[in-house]
Amino acid sequence: MKSSPLPLLFTLFFTGLVGCQSTTTADTNQNVSAQLQQKALESSLAYDIVESLTVEVGPRLAGSEKDLIAVQWAENKLNSLGFDKVYKEAVKVPVWQRGEAKASIVSPFAQPLVITALGGSVGTPEEGINAPIVRFESLEALKLAEPSQVLGKIVFIDHITPRFKTGKGYSITVGGRSRGAIAAAEKGALAIVIRSIGTDHDRMAHTGMMRYQEGVEKIPAAAMSNPDADLIALMLKRDPNVILHLKLTPKNLGYATSYNVIAEVTGSSKPDEIVLIGAHLDSWDEGTGAIDDGAGVAIVTTAGHLISQLPQRPARTVRVVLYAAEELGLIGGKSYAKAHQHELDKHYIAAESDFGAGYIYQLDFNVADSAFAAIQAHTASMQANGVAMGNNQASGGPDVSMLPNHGVPVASLRQDGTDYFDYHHTPNDTLDKIDPKALAQNAAAYAQFAYLMAQSEIELRPLTSKTK
């Protein structure tokens, strides 16, 4: 007796039905992604948000009075935009006041210089420091120097930051800013002054955080404008005995409480699973924090808002995190990872916008190799917004860069940073540096990304590499 073909026919029918449903779901996701793109590109919301932040709050150094004003601004803004939940989480932050920064060449060619204190620096004696300059082309050259070359002098690291679309020049030179004071003090220097970590030719100094090391004397640290670094280099060619006067009056005032500000669009079927998109709320105190990182705040807030306005919420929760004290050492990001360690296994993916407002040109991931092709196909609709598919080596952005070590997949939406380091950490970081159209394209890309990730059925873990 032959077996009936009916079971096979039913199997084929249901397999075909499931396949059709999967295709239909994929098409729906891509259609919604396209709609989000159009909505974002037609909206001025992102620009309105960064305008509000820079005008109504302005510079917001973590631990300052303006920092808490920014936190309140963020809560009010997020609540006004219809998120399902808005809350804040306390973060302990150091309090540092910049004070005054003055420098001049005493001899052989007396001239004033444009400088700024590096974040966290100690001050000079009240009368300042007068000492010869010793020049090094890089931090590595300083480390190789004999202590006798440095003892009793002011170290000058003259490392020029090269310009790249990716911004990788910053990583080449930033070590001099962050670790130069340690290396100089170990060899007996009285202070350190670096060429600004910037790609501009403006007579404007770039600040940024520096570090000390326990057991090594703390010496004053400052950055000078690129034209002034050029000036000193030319003086040293004429006379190796250039005397610099340096006076800094910063103060470290202990600790204060700041906050990570968080908003959520609750998922419809997987509300306990999280797609995190973040930016940092704090800024340095010299500009108005427009590109660093008011733009990021506007981008991810707009993306979350657009998703909240969809007729049907995505499956997963979209969580917008505005981090505290990124500039002082990723403090808000580290605090978030610790506070949420119990649910990091529920974080589907994370990404951060913290590279200005240049057009997003590429989407990189850090997911399981087995998932990479599928997740690229799932985000293919973003190509219509000018976003090409990239590699599987993303870091995710500063405040989420520690999450892969906890197994959390991340993505990097790569922005054109060709001119980002012209303005980074200077008084020139102001609203006029933002192109509204480019900002809208960023908001569109983040809205598409967050929505598609919230809808994805692709298993992204385990990561091939936790530290990239």
- Cα separation, 462 vs 20, in Å, equals 29
Instruction: Count the neighbouring beta carbons within 10 Å of the beta carbon of residue 244.
Output: 25
Would you give the distance in Å from CA 468 to the centre of its chain?
16
Which secondary structure element, helix H or strand E, spans residue 183, and what is its range?
Answer: helix 169-186
Parallel, antiparallel or unpaired: strands 101-107 and 243-248: antiparallel
Three-state DSSP class for residue 49? helix
Dihedral (Cα; 60, 62, 67, 72), 10-degree rounding:
120
Q: Which neighbouring-strand residues pair with 256?
A: 93
140 is catalytic: no
Q: From residue 379, how far is each of 310, 395, 438 by CA, in Å?
A: 18, 18, 20
Side by side, which strands form the sheet with 221-224?
111-113, 101-107, 243-248, 129-136, 154-157, 191-195, 221-224, 115-117
Give the list of residues 6+ apart from residue 338 with CB closer than 8 angstroms, or none.
none
Pairing state of beta strands 360-366 and 388-389?
parallel
Give, in degrees to the nearest 5, the angle at Cα 251 between 249 and 254: 180
Given 326, 327, 352, 457, which residue is catalytic?
Answer: 326
Q: Alpha carbon of 439 to those of 33, 43, 46, 300, 394: distances in Å? A: 18, 10, 7, 11, 22
Tokens standing for residue 236: 């040293």
- Residues with a catalytic annotation lie at 326
